[in-house]
Amino acid sequence: MNQDKGWKLWITFIAIFFVSLNLRPSVTSVGPLLDTIAADLGVSSTQMSLLTSIPVFCMGLFAPLAVPLQKKLGYRTAVNILMLLIGVATLIRIEFVSYAGLLLTSFLTGFAIAIISPMINAYIKERFGDKMAPVIGVYSFAIGGGATLSAAFTGVFYETFGKNWALALGIWGLLAIFALITWTMAVERTPASTEQTDKESARNPWKTTRAWIILLYFGLQTSLFFGLTTWLVSMALEQGMPLLTAGSVLTTMTIVQLVGNIVIPSMLSKYPNRITWLYGLIAFGMIGAIVLFIDAGWSIWVGAMMLGAALSGLFPIGLLLPLDEAKNNREANEWSSMVLSGGFMMSAIIPLVIGIVYDQLGSHFYTKVIFAVLFIFMALSIYWLQRNKRHV
């Protein structure tokens, strides 16, 4: 019996890992080839930034659908349908070699990711209860892993496949196969919301000040992540780096983030004070943003590593904050949906703003200013969170 339980636990970990691995490549694979695709299709930086902003906005707009869809279909069926959508929408980029095709597939993948993210968050709360921090670590690690893989290999695929950027983007859809297999094995085909769960009372997050503060924080740190994954390679190219070297800067940042996604959540059990962690990570990230202003060849490498280290903790703690507040599974689902919904809608703005500013001024100086300002507002949101409740 214990062996069966242990096997089930491991396959659940693996399933969460593979599902989460699919939640970024369709978005982050665009960044390494952003300038290349723009030149080939004859579109502006502002138009290219929409390929990040649209799916991220969708992640926010459609996140509230997670609750009714999970109740109707259950975790197993709902996630499988949405994962299939991510896989197909990403793969068809190989054939739809146009800006309109990229916009459509960005919308479809953003729609699916929007609903899966809060659903996985709620599933972790329901399945693992007070031992969820290490599982959130696996979840964050896998999301970072997907971003790292796409940052590291999209440019390599582009060079390997005869400079075919459509194939380099579309090949990431194959990852969905592993998610579909493992999720089907791990999760039983029963709706997770029983009659008793439906009767649980829950505070409305949209009417709770603390939920809005958490949403603000989550939106700011996610804005930083998508701003960096969209424009860091372009910033490196502006310094005169070749494409693969510039892509390596983004890869370096995501590798550092990947390591931290495992290390920091595992340390949260021993040092659980979220506020202390957040202030420390924000201060470290702010230094990294300032380093980017230094006019030297090493600065973008060091800045990228420091920003990756900061993001590695800011994101998983952002996922934990609404779960910490939740009194039951229903609240976990509704609070996560609200925070991810509003947060991702916020973060869709920054890549677009950077693209507009860059088109107007032709320099990434103000891109660096925007990154620094995001850290300042993050610190203010945490201060507000601390004032709203003296401990977390």
User: pLDDT digit string (tens) for 157-177?
Assistant: 999 988 999 999 999 999 999
SS3 140: helix
Nearest in space to 313 (alpha carbons), one of 148, 152, 63, 133: 133
Inter-CA distances, 260 with 196, 217, 237, 316, Å: 38, 19, 26, 10
Average pLDDT rounded to a whole number, residues 96-112: 92
Binning pLDDT at 50, 70 and 90, where does residue 190 land? low
User: pLDDT digit string (tens) for 222-255?
Assistant: 999 989 988 998 899 988 898 888 889 988 998 8
Nearest in space to 38 (alpha carbons), one of 345, 359, 253, 350: 359
Range from 119-128, 194-203, 369-378, 379-388 carrying the lowest mean pLDDT: 194-203
Binning pLDDT at 50, 70 and 90, where does residue 300 land? very high
pLDDT of residue 385: 87
The rounded percent of the chain whose pLDDT value lies above 90 is 40
Binning pLDDT at 50, 70 and 90, where does residue 257 land? confident
Average pLDDT rounded to a whole number, residues 344-364: 89
User: pLDDT digit string (tens) for 7-35?
Assistant: 777 888 899 999 999 998 998 898 888 88
| Confidence check: pLDDT of 203 > 70 | yes
Q: What does the alpha-carbon distance between residue 258 and residue 137 come to, in Å, rounded to a whole number?
A: 10
| Confidence check: pLDDT of 3 > 70 | no
Binning pLDDT at 50, 70 and 90, where does residue 61 land? confident
Using CA atoms of 275, 276, 277, 281 in order, give the dihedral in degrees to the nearest 10. 100
Structure-token match 């700011």, residue found = 220
| Confidence check: pLDDT of 273 > 50 | yes
Range from 83-97, 181-195, 356-370 carrying the lowest mean pLDDT: 181-195
Q: What does the alpha-carbon distance between residue 306 and residue 80 come to, in Å, rounded to a whole number?
A: 36
pLDDT of residue 4: 53
Binning pLDDT at 50, 70 and 90, where does residue 334 land? confident
Backbone φ and ψ for 15, nearest 5 degrees, come out as -65, -45
Nearest in space to 143 (alpha carbons), one of 279, 9, 27: 27
The rounded percent of the chain whose pLDDT value lies above 70 is 94
* 371 half-sphere exposure, CB direction, 13 A CA radius: 32
